[in-house]
Amino acid sequence: MTIDEAQLKVDEWIKTVGVRYFSELTNLGILMEEVGELSRLMVRTYGEQSFKESDKNKDLADEMADILWGLICLANQTGINLTEALHKNFNKKNIRDIDRHKNNDKLQ
């Protein structure tokens, strides 16, 4: 599925199953909650914290998909084409960072 297709599918789902979009601020809050859930799982999986019983059946891919869903909702609501935005972001990074990481002693 392309990013464009994902934006269309989320929009279709929201308008049929979800009835309508939550407000932009509500969706931003939901997105932040989902990022927190991913953070908790990453810290427990790759960091030093131990798992709580309630975290043991969480799935990393599902948490990432929840974040992507929330971001797509916000993009749809604000009229942003994420494919175009990502292309522009690559261009920005390619110009700004052309030698930055190659010259970073921390990455050698």
Domain spans in the chain, listed from the N-terminal domain onward: 3-81
3-81: CATH topology: Helix Hairpins (1.10.287)
pTM of the model: 0.89
* Average confidence score pLDDT of the chain: 95
Other beta carbons within 10 angstroms of residue 11's beta carbon come to: 17
Q: Tokens 């916000």 belong to which residue?
A: 74
CA dihedral 70, 76, 81, 83 (to 10 degrees): 30
The span from the CA of 34 to the CA of 74, in Å, is 14
pLDDT at 74 over 90: yes
pLDDT at 40 over 90: yes
Structure confidence at residue 100 (pLDDT): 86
Q: Categorize the per-residue pLDDT at 13 as very low, low, confident or very high, splitting at 50, 70 and 90.
A: very high
Residue 44 contacts residue 38 (beta carbons within 8 Å): no
Q: Categorize the per-residue pLDDT at 27 as very low, low, confident or very high, splitting at 50, 70 and 90.
A: very high
